[in-house]
Structure 1
Amino acid sequence: MASNLASGTASSSSRGDGDQNLEDKKNLVTDKLQKREEERLDLVQKRRDEKEKESAVDEDAQLFTVNFARESNAIERDLKLCDSVKKSELPAYFDRMSVGVQNLQKSLSDATLYLPAYDVQHTQETIIKLQVDIHNKRGELLPKKKFAFKSKKKTLDKLDRPASGKTGASAEERNADIDDMTIELADCKFVDRNGEMLGMSGNAIKMKDVALARLSDCRVKLQGSPSAVHIRALKNCHVFCGPVSGSIFITDCSNCVFVLSCQQLRIHTTTESKFYIHVTSRAIIEDTTRVEFAPYNWKYDGLDDDYNMSGLDLSRNNWAYIDDFNWLASDQHSPNWSLIDEKDRVQAWDV
């Protein structure tokens, strides 16, 4: 009888262990199913978010296109009416159109974050053509200064060439033509200089377009608040710039140091350079390698007034967040740029 009792006890224990194992397996299956469902829901939400983001970008692009067409068409209409405007009113009339073009440039700078490259290029060409037409018409009706761009016709003809094909201009050539035209149309500029200390300040650059091109071994100081700065083909240079209300465009530079403050910074085909920046949006690099970033740290008398003029938000600086258009992996850092270690940063500039 004792033997039967022991046998019954063992049998009950075995059934209990079996029940427990079965329960554990059920729980394991349930957990896996729940995890799988959570992953599915996360994927659905991610796709929904991406779709909404794409839709928002499309809406922004469409809105920009509509607004740009309306504003540029208005400027073209005003140009056609110039001949009927009283001569005494022409200076203000032309100034108003020029401000309109500046606003178009600023809106394009803001929109480059979501516009396709072709649309950016096409829109930039439209802006340049408007600038040339305004300058030439001003020179025709107010010939106090030689505003006509006789040498610009060849460049405008280049912009009309096809962007592909053996007989047409390449995309690189068209971009170079646009850069050349932008530099030539800038209100203030330093071009083709070597081994010099260069500077502009105050009202000379206040809310104006500034261009720096083909400089080598130069030290440039822009103390003020320009509306935009275009920089191309600099070698072994130091560039210091006060707060820019719009964008700074940098192309084809090497072994330079840039100390810049702006709303938007775009860097193309540049290498072996350091950037000390204050940028309120995210800086963008493209076809660019071995560049380093640190926070903006140039100080000069009147800097606070220039910040007020520019409208930049001092509390918002995305100096450490760089978008590399040539690096698509979101889970890995781009090898094309890095941050300058704090111990290696220049603490004070001898400008």
Structure 2
Amino acid sequence: MEDDDPNHQGLATETLDPALQKKHHDMLERLSARHQARKSDSPDSSSSSSTLESTSSFLTRFSDSKRSIESRIAESRLVSSSTDSSKVKSDLAEISFAIDNLEKLLAQNSYFLPSYEVRSSLKTVSDLKQNLENLAVELVPKKKFSFKTKSSSKKPESKLPESQKSDVVLPPKLPVRDSPGFRNKHGETLSKNFKGSSIGEFTLSDLDSCQVRLTGTVNALFLHRLKNCNVYTGPVIGSILIDDVEDCVLVLASHQIRIHCARKSDFYLRVRSRPIIEDSNGVRFAPYCLDYEGIEEDLKTAGLEEETKNWANVDDFRWLRAVQSPNWSVLPEEERVSSVSISGDGDS
């Protein structure tokens, strides 16, 4: 079991139908009060990890950060000739970190943003990364310095059919975070109860043939490189971000779920917004089916007590035609697991 970490992510909202406004308002008051209490108790909370409460507040914060990053990129280009290489590398790393924080801000607040604002902001983040990559190529010899994310100009030409090519900007992949979690395990049963924990983010990474059982609520969950795993999680208040899973069964509840590079996996979801998949195939979806003692209270705390049926409204960012994407399907009822019960006792 990893040590607890006080990393904090805030709460988010989204636009609801008029009939649900009052219930939504009551939920917001509960979540806001909880967020403020935890924020005041956490001296390590930084502005870069806060979730905002309106589109206008987000856009102001996002634009300010964007201008600051653009200014730093321009300044680095101007002063590079009179700066030693170690200082240049340090400056580039700091700018890269600022872009990562901007991307994190977008992920935390995308639940309530209009879709066009999400796409526009994703393009901004992508452009900033490309500008920084170009600057790194200009200032530092290629063999001595490079970011982990390679420039898109160096990637092989896309083999997508013409019908799937578009100017739509795909969400960038997020890096594996240094949050508490389970990593590099094979054939183990891994359990974590978040009740009473100060953990804000949790990561599952490089797991093979494992059973993962997470109970209670957490603010964000990251899944990276899972193969032949069964993952059962209580409600996540913010985002679940998934990258590279194969032959897995995942039972997840969250306000936002983004899936990248998933193959031959089944997802049992409860989600407030439409799930997003990209570069995935052979994935099937069904409604959330997890049960453990106290789950109803946890769902209410996370604002996920109501079934939205968005588990069946999947957006495939690699399929832009009007017809159904062939990359995902609804899991036939006769093949679904009706209910999964797990224990919330103890960690492992």
Give TM-score, length-normalised by structure 1.
Answer: 0.56
Aligned pairs for 1:193-272 within 5 A = 193-203=185-195, 208-272=200-264
Contact 1:267 1:285 in 2 (8 A): yes
CA–CA distance in 2 between the matches of 1:280 and 1:109?
A: 8
TM-aligned CA deviation for residue 313 of structure 1: 4.6
Structure 1 spans left out of the alignment, 5+ residues = 1-59, 75-99, 126-155, 167-174
Say which of 108, 122, 138 aligns to 1:106: 108
Number of the residue aligned with 1:137: none
Structure 2 spans left out of the alignment, 5+ residues = 1-53, 69-101, 131-144, 156-171, 343-348
Aligned pairs for 1:17-96 within 5 A = 64-70=58-64
Identical positions, percent: 33
The 1:315–1:345 alpha-carbon spacing in structure 2 relative to 1, beyond 3 Å, is closer
- Specify the SS of the correspondent of 1:115: helix
The 1:121–1:222 alpha-carbon spacing in structure 2 relative to 1, beyond 3 Å, is farther
The 1:235–1:304 alpha-carbon spacing in structure 2 relative to 1, beyond 3 Å, is same
Larger % of helix: which? 1
CA–CA distance in 2 between the matches of 1:286 and 1:161?
A: 19
Say which of 136, 147, 152 aligns to 1:158: 147
Amino acid of the residue matched to residue 119 of structure 1?
T
How many residues are paired up? 225
Q: Could you say which structure has the greater relative contact order, defined with CA pairs below 8 angstroms and 6 or more residues apart? A: 2
Larger Rg belongs to: 1
Contact 2:269 2:311 in 1 (8 A): yes
Contact 2:269 2:285 in 1 (8 A): yes
Say which of 257, 263, 271 aligns to 1:279: 271
Amino acid of the residue matched to residue 217 of structure 1?
S
Number of the residue aligned with 1:82: none
Aligned pairs for 1:125-144 within 5 A = none
Number of the residue aligned with 1:115: 119
CA–CA distance in 2 between the matches of 1:337 and 1:258?
A: 15
CA–CA distance in 1 between the matches of 2:276 and 2:193?
A: 27
Say which of 312, 330, 337 aligns to 1:339: 330
Contact 2:245 2:263 in 1 (8 A): yes
TM-aligned CA deviation for residue 311 of structure 1: 2.1
TM-aligned CA deviation for residue 315 of structure 1: 3.8
CA–CA distance in 2 between the matches of 1:209 and 1:124?
A: 24
Number of the residue aligned with 1:94: none
The 1:206–1:294 alpha-carbon spacing in structure 2 relative to 1, beyond 3 Å, is farther
Number of the residue aligned with 1:152: none
Contact 1:259 1:296 in 2 (8 A): yes
- Specify the SS of the correspondent of 1:179: coil
CA–CA distance in 1 between the matches of 2:248 and 2:283?
A: 10
CA–CA distance in 1 between the matches of 2:154 and 2:227?
A: 32
Contact 1:269 1:286 in 2 (8 A): yes
Number of the residue aligned with 2:292: 300
Give TM-score, length-normalised by structure 2.
Answer: 0.56
RMSD: 3.6
Number of the residue aligned with 1:317: 309
CA–CA distance in 2 between the matches of 1:203 and 1:289?
A: 35
- Specify the SS of the correspondent of 1:268: strand
Number of the residue aligned with 2:20: none
For 1:260-295, what per-residue CA distance to the aligned partner results, in whole angstroms no more than 9, with x for missing partners?
000111111110000110011100110100000110
Contact 2:312 2:330 in 1 (8 A): yes
